[in-house]
Amino acid sequence: MGIPAQQGLEDRGTGQVPDSSPPEPPSDYSLILPDGWYRIPLDPEQCTRSVDALVERQFKGIDNQPHAKRQVRNDLLDQADQAIGNGGIEMYLSLQAAGPITIPASLLVTLTPEVREADKSLEEVARELAHSGPPGIETTIETLPTGEAVRTRSRTEAARDDATGEVLYSTSLDYYVPVPATGSFLVLSFSTPLDMIADALVKLFDAVARTLTWRGPTNA
């Protein structure tokens, strides 16, 4: 990830001789995704190749839909460009199937800038997210193997069916995980437009978030 270190953190004291080296941030992280999820690295040099490979895979054996194929490719590249501009590191798309239907879901991993003051508690961060989020947003503090994180869940109107006028909803689940020895968050942003099984997918999203581990040097 290349996460910058934050200098001058307070030594809280343990009765032992303190380590004279400053806390170091992790250099990377790892996540475990279910089988059937496709990773798109949000690096300009790799992103286009990854999107092209996905489109070719999904349209394999279908030669009579060049417009649909081109539209899917353009939509994915637009999503990736927007995510890169917002600090996105990687994106995962669900290709899991239930019978003939692909279960639509996604995960975007983002590294925020140094936005968190050293003395700001996660409770304060949670209150700010609740205040700025959509109506009905649920905000809690959860404990992951990496430590405490802010979890938010929301359900918002995504679109409206032109034929029936039915409102279509999207469910989002976000984890704001403090990066050790920095003022940044690693944000795991899960989403699904499949309202009828949103609760089941949220359980899956929570399970994925609990697989997060830091890699690389850190003595925070």
Residues 78 and 116 occupy one common structural domain: no
Confidence of residue 9 (pLDDT cuts 50, 70, 90): very low
Residues 116 and 200 occupy one common structural domain: yes
Residues 186 and 120 occupy one common structural domain: yes
Residues 39 and 73 occupy one common structural domain: yes
Residues 116 and 88 occupy one common structural domain: no
* Percentage of the chain exceeding pLDDT 70: 85
pLDDT tens-digit map of 81-107: 999 888 899 999 998 877 777 889 999
Say what the pLDDT of residue 1 is. Answer: 47
Q: Evaluate if residue 108 carries a pLDDT over 50.
A: yes
Average pLDDT over residues 192-214: 95
Residues 194 and 125 occupy one common structural domain: yes
- Asked if residue 23 is part of any domain, the answer here is no
Of 68, 95, 122, at which residue does a domain stop? 95
Range of the domain at 64: 29-95
Q: Can you give the three-state secondary structure of the chain, one letter per residue?
A: CCCCCCCCCCCCCCCCCCCCCCCCCCCEEECCCCCCEEEEECCHHHHHHHHHHHHHHHCCCCCCCHHHHHHHHHHHHHHHHHHHHCCEEEEEEECCEECCEECCCEEEEEECCCCCCCCCCHHHHHHHHHHHCCCCCEEEEEEECCEEEEEEEEEEEEEECCCCCCEEEEEEEEEEEECCCCCCEEEEEEEECCHHHHHHHHHHHHHHHCCCEEECCCCC
Q: Evaluate if residue 2 carries a pLDDT over 60.
A: no
Domain count, the chain: 2
Residues 80 and 129 occupy one common structural domain: no
